[in-house]
Chains A and B, each alone.
Chain A
Amino acid sequence: LQHRAGSERLPGLLVAPGAVSSALNPVLQLPGGAGHGSALLPPLLKVLAERGPRRWDGEAPRLRPDARALRYMKRLYRMSATKEGIPKANKSHLYNTVRLFTPCSEHKHRHRDVVRGDVHSVDLLFNLDRVTALEHLLKSVLLYSFDTSAPVSSSITGTCHLSVKEHGFSSHVCPSLSHSLAFSLHFQVRKRKWVEIDVTSFLQPLIATKRRNIHMAVNFTCLLGDPQHNTELENAINMVLVPPSLLLYLNDTSEQAYHRWNALRHRWKNPARPRQRNSPRLNPAGDTGKENSQGQRASRQRR
């Protein structure tokens, strides 16, 4: 393999564990003398192949994602990629991976605080096993979804306070981490509201020490609108305060991930490049991408 371009730089993923390449469905084995099946698979196949030997034919064991979370990620996808699935060029974010985790277990309790109104406390356990070693954390967010489809007469503004503390972890060597912040919240009638609360400074040390089970206690209070008529508003909010999801914005430095800044640097270095054959020709079965014959004839005449 050593004489082949790039083979020694392939991440462990491409020389997947024996179980993966041997259990690959024959459909995926390349025809002819393909030799090392998994090493020649395109990136997406390798990534998916890496996830488990029974992925192709049998129903791979899989938990259904939370519907709200799925809605949010589809919205993020539409904002980040074109209809054909190509990352939008006008985006200058540094992340190339976003992971959303819903809590594996949660214990909610609510108590009344005379000054701050209802305090929503929830203990959340997130399992971050899916984060790979080459995915580096840029930002982490607790994603709250407020659904005001409940009867709320008018738009509401208020201030909320959130505090996050590592749950059940205390050691005299390193004190348990905590993080708190206040933020304002504005609701419109009949509009779903996503609120992203940045907890990067809280989570960064935990991820840096390769902690994969994050157990946190979150306290959440909101004082909304006019205190005299608070009951109606508060009911609207209390009813819909769903435990948050955890959103991680990551930079995947592996070979198969797209590195936006490389593409930009490449364009700067080669503004004028030799013309290459790039006009897609319609193959008999294809329905789109028709060859533009005028383009073809014009370029030939120029030559």
Chain B
Amino acid sequence: DENLKEAPATPPYNLSEYFKQFLFPQNECELHNFRLSFSQLKWDRWIIAPHRYSPQYCKGDCPRVVGHRYGSPVHTMVQNLIYERLDPSVPKPSCVPAEYSPLSVLTIEPDGSIVYKEYEDMIATKCTCR
């Protein structure tokens, strides 16, 4: 108690926050938002819709023991072990998209015809470590 009396007036220490640093990396592999508009790329001359598009992206560190939490296959943990124990030139697992959703696009063709098309794998929706 004596030490605490002189201690600066900081809130009582939150143990769960303290332990968190050991369990989950700060910059954890996660989905990040990114929004672009086709006019930025000057493609709005032939892309009629949508005007804006959010492809999203995955970024962050892959913790040493990935497993179920990231939907990673066993191979990812093996690759991590190889990187740490056997050969550092083998890259660490990366934070990459695991699932996508499609995008519908309306465009003008060079001959003036118009096409509506649904494209696969255009928006990242989930991340994983691989």
Contacts and interface: CB of A to CB of B under 8 A. Distances in A.
Interface residues of A, number: 65
Interface in B7-64: 16, 20, 23-24, 28-35, 42-43, 45-46, 48-50, 52-56, 58, 60
A290 to B, nearest CB: 8
B85 interface: no
At the interface, is chain A mostly helix, strand, loop or mixed?
A: loop
Interface in B90-111: 98-99, 101-111
At the interface, is chain B mostly helix, strand, loop or mixed?
A: strand
Given A44-B119, A69-B114, A275-B69, A62 B108 contact: yes
B43 A48 contact: yes
Nearest to A286: B33
Interface residues of B, number: 59
Interface string A272-303: 01111111111100111100000000001101
B123 interface: yes
A299 to B, nearest CB: 10
A289 B52 CA distance: 14
B110 A51 contact: yes
B117 A62 contact: no
Contact of B120 (A43, A277, A286, A301): A43
Interface of B: 16, 20, 23-24, 28-35, 42-43, 45-46, 48-50, 52-56, 58, 60, 68-71, 98-99, 101-123, 125-128
Interface of A: 42-44, 47-48, 51-52, 56, 59-66, 69-70, 73-74, 76-77, 80-81, 83-87, 96-102, 127, 129-130, 252, 255-260, 263, 273-283, 286-289, 300-301, 303
Given A44-B119, A74-B48, A258-B119, 13 more contacts: A44-B105, A47-B117, A77-B106, A80-B116, A84-B54, A85-B49, A85-B105, A98-B115, A102-B112, A256-B121, A277-B127, A280-B56, A301-B16
